[in-house]
Structure 1
Amino acid sequence: MSNISCSSKEDLTPDREEPIEQPEPETRVLKEKASFGIGAAIKTSLMGESGYMQTVTTHFSQITAEWEMKMDAIWTSSTHYQWAGADKLVDFAIDNDLDVHGHTLVWYKSFPSWFKNAGYDSTAFEDHVKTYIKTVVERYKGKVISWDVANEIFNDNGSLRITDCPVHATFKDPIAFYGRCFQYAHEADPDAKLFYNDYSVVIAPGKRNAIKNMVQRFKSEGIPIHGIGDQFHYRINNDKSTLRNGLNDMASTGLLVHISELDIVMNVNKSDNYVFTEAEAKKQSDMYKHIAESYSALPAQQRFAISLWGVTDKHTWLTGSWHPKEYPLLFDQSYQHKEAYKGFLSGLN
């Protein structure tokens, strides 16, 4: 018969529950928490507005020109360049220790009228564009860390853009021309990271495959391309798993991945009666958190930046291009951070 020792009364007393340690409230701002760039598209015309630049310098580590660095803003004739806007933006970045992402060197919508009406053959067309790229990139060498070299080449189904595209109208092999543009930019600043940028990349498999094929071609031909940007002008009802899976597929190229122009459309039906309620704010917060988490899950060496397309709901392109009742960004019209900011911040890693 085995001996069974009796436990003392104290031993039978249930363990006392230790108090649950509450997490410390997050005190870091976006740029402090993220392990990659956090950018905002800005306009020099808004720099004098109270709250605008303070919000940028407090929360962001990188800026993009919303329009001052597009071709038609700079290239006023074949021999004249208007530098005032771009210089002001770059000088502001230097003074405030911000990186600059250059947007964009070649975009079908930003060829100036004088250029489109000149009737250049392919040789003259490319000579002028080569001069433009080298002039711009060399001017900001060491000051602009990265460039969108080419923007919106493809339709969503993967076909090349034809309508209103002077490149397609001029060259039998537009992709080869764009590849040479990457080469010209690289020659002007070998240290700058060079991106292809487009919209709907993660939700349009045809476009994404066309981009991946172009990347493979560039790699095989020795063309310097370092990253892909998806603008991420998406809507609150876009499928979250589609966004995540598309991001992962972009990363399969091995290149840097840039969420380049992020905002979230809330008033998806363009309703005059739309109200941005607390429930809508929560949905937006959840979407921003999902995007930040999905991006943070990419390989660390491929995370370039997440850039918001704007700073405040007060000045968003969507109130003009989509609907006046639209609230797509992280800060409200009074520069107060929204629930979306909290969601985005919590999703960053």
Structure 2
Amino acid sequence: MPLSCTSPPRTSRFFSPKTPESFASLMIRVRRCGGGLHDWPGKPGFELENHGAADEYVHVWTRAEGKKRAGCRPAEKKRGGKGMIADQTLRMAADRRNLLVGAACSPHLIAREPEYAQTLAREFNCLVAENCMKAAYVQPERGRFDFGPADRLVAFAEENRMRVRGHTLVWHNQMPEWMKTAGFSREEALGVMRDHIRGVLAHFKGRVFCWDVVNEALADGGGWRMKSPWFQMIGPDYVEAAFRFAREADPDVLLFYNDYGMDQPGSKADECYRMVRDFLDRGVPIDGVGFQYHLGVENHLDRSACAANVRRFRELGLAVHFTEMDMGIRKPITDELRSQQASEYANRVGIALDAGVSALVFWGFTDKYSWVPSFTKGEYDEPLLFDSSYRPKPAWKAVFDALAS
């Protein structure tokens, strides 16, 4: 009796740390309670993970070449649940919506820690460099560019069919010392900015689909961040200049302004809206706005009001990405707070879907390497979707369910 075989999506992953039988002719069967039965060849060396789905069953078996299947047995279960099937990943749920779901990451951790790399590639169709594309890393000395770590990150993305967000070209933090302390005149500073943007965009042309051109230029209460070295050297028009330099350097890449504190209606969101609307009115090249979404669990957002806040940017013809999402839990951490975190993550995904956001990017994916505990001096922890052992948390399931619904 011939097998009915369908190919799973190219981004599927099936892993089995303890294969029940020989890897030769390994087969996988997925049966859904709601109907549907699919068989296809498996691959050796993969790990079959549990994400707690209740309506899908996975079986693994082997069959000799030219013979009927034999020795069918259930796949090994982990953590008391059923095995994760191909489309039980954030990546597959997002792909079905034509949505990007991404994470900030480190090329050093990708190289050093296999489970880090495997989880990143399996769960996300987009990535962003946490640090290695910032000015302090790519141009540590004037005129000397070092793209080694960033190149390794982009190569990993290409190998795993992931898109790359560029972060960031112009920011007041993580500038090399020579760039912010040399006492440049306005014209000299504009030249430094132009050369940096040209050098970076030329190197990554065609490999990075969008860039956060300017990061965090606005003050928390509205108006400009006047302590920025760029503001002090050039003046408020440094933001406009950066976007014009970026468009000259790469006519095709998408250009974003990125900032925090705009997650809900307020003075900073209003200031950003006025800025980008003015840019569009005057022909300053800009394609999108990034909302960072660094918030704690206690920061409940009104879904309707926040979606309307985002939607007004979309109505200008701009793309919107949620670019740096995390959600720390104030200690002491309880299961109730973890459940609240899951609910709030689902709410933020709902805001994105309601408003037509085209990318959801998390600032990391495992609590093991989050910046939140350090930044909050230990007051907050567990902000991401996977725990420190790469196990999916209730927050992961909430995001998956929101994307898959």
| TM-score calculated relative to the size of structure 1 | 0.86
Among 70, 87, 93, the residue aligned to 1:33: 93
The corresponding residue for 1:214 is 275
Structure 2: distance between partners of 1:239 and 1:218: 32
Structure 1: distance between partners of 2:203 and 2:196: 11
Offset of 1:103 from its aligned partner? 0.2
Q: Is 1:145 paired with 2:200?
A: no
Offset of 1:91 from its aligned partner? 1.2
The answer to whether the 8 A contact 1:41-1:311 is kept is yes
The answer to whether the 8 A contact 1:182-1:224 is kept is yes
Among 323, 344, 359, the residue aligned to 1:287: 344
Three-state SS of the structure 2 residue aligned to 1:234 is strand
Q: Which has the higher contact order (CA 8 A, sep 6+)?
A: 1
The corresponding residue for 2:329 is 266
Q: Is 1:69 paired with 2:122?
A: no
Offset of 1:239 from its aligned partner? 2.6
Correspondences of 1:78-89 after superposition (within 5 Å): 78-89=142-153
Offset of 1:327 from its aligned partner? 0.3
Three-state SS of the structure 2 residue aligned to 1:213 is helix
Structure 1: distance between partners of 2:402 and 2:240: 36
Bigger mean CA deviation after superposition, 199-208 or 125-134: 199-208
Q: Please tell me the root mean square deviation across aligned C-alpha atoms, in Å.
A: 1.9
- The letter of the residue matching 2:361 is S
The corresponding residue for 1:296 is 353
Structure 2: distance between partners of 1:213 and 1:122: 25
Q: Is 1:43 paired with 2:106?
A: yes
Structure 1: distance between partners of 2:367 and 2:263: 25
**Structure 2 residues not aligned, in runs of 5+:** 1-33, 36-53, 57-84
Bigger mean CA deviation after superposition, 335-344 or 74-83: 74-83
- The letter of the residue matching 1:68 is C
The corresponding residue for 1:307 is 361
The corresponding residue for 2:372 is 318
Structure 2: distance between partners of 1:40 and 1:115: 28
Three-state SS of the structure 1 residue aligned to 2:188 is helix
Three-state SS of the structure 1 residue aligned to 2:295 is strand
Among 178, 198, 201, the residue aligned to 1:134: 198
- The letter of the residue matching 2:274 is N
Structure 2: distance between partners of 1:281 and 1:308: 17
The corresponding residue for 1:341 is 396
- The letter of the residue matching 1:237 is E
Bigger mean CA deviation after superposition, 61-70 or 201-210: 201-210
Among 156, 167, 170, the residue aligned to 2:233: 170
Three-state SS of the structure 1 residue aligned to 2:289 is strand
Structure 2: distance between partners of 1:252 and 1:110: 33
Offset of 1:296 from its aligned partner? 1.0
The corresponding residue for 1:99 is 163
Measured against aligned partners, the alpha-carbon deviations of 1:136-160 in whole angstroms (never above 9, x if no partner) come to 0010000000000000011122111
The answer to whether the 8 A contact 1:212-1:253 is kept is no
Three-state SS of the structure 2 residue aligned to 1:142 is coil
- The aligned length equals 318
The corresponding residue for 1:253 is 316
- The letter of the residue matching 1:74 is V
- The letter of the residue matching 2:317 is G
Offset of 1:171 from its aligned partner? 2.5
The answer to whether the 8 A contact 2:172-2:230 is kept is yes
Measured against aligned partners, the alpha-carbon deviations of 1:16-60 in whole angstroms (never above 9, x if no partner) come to xxxxx7994594311111221000000112112131000011000
- The letter of the residue matching 1:192 is V
The answer to whether the 8 A contact 2:100-2:358 is kept is yes
Q: Is 1:235 paired with 2:300?
A: no
Three-state SS of the structure 2 residue aligned to 1:157 is coil
Measured against aligned partners, the alpha-carbon deviations of 1:283-316 in whole angstroms (never above 9, x if no partner) come to 11111111111111123xxx32000101200100
- The letter of the residue matching 1:116 is K
More helix by share: 1
Three-state SS of the structure 2 residue aligned to 1:81 is coil
The corresponding residue for 1:3 is none
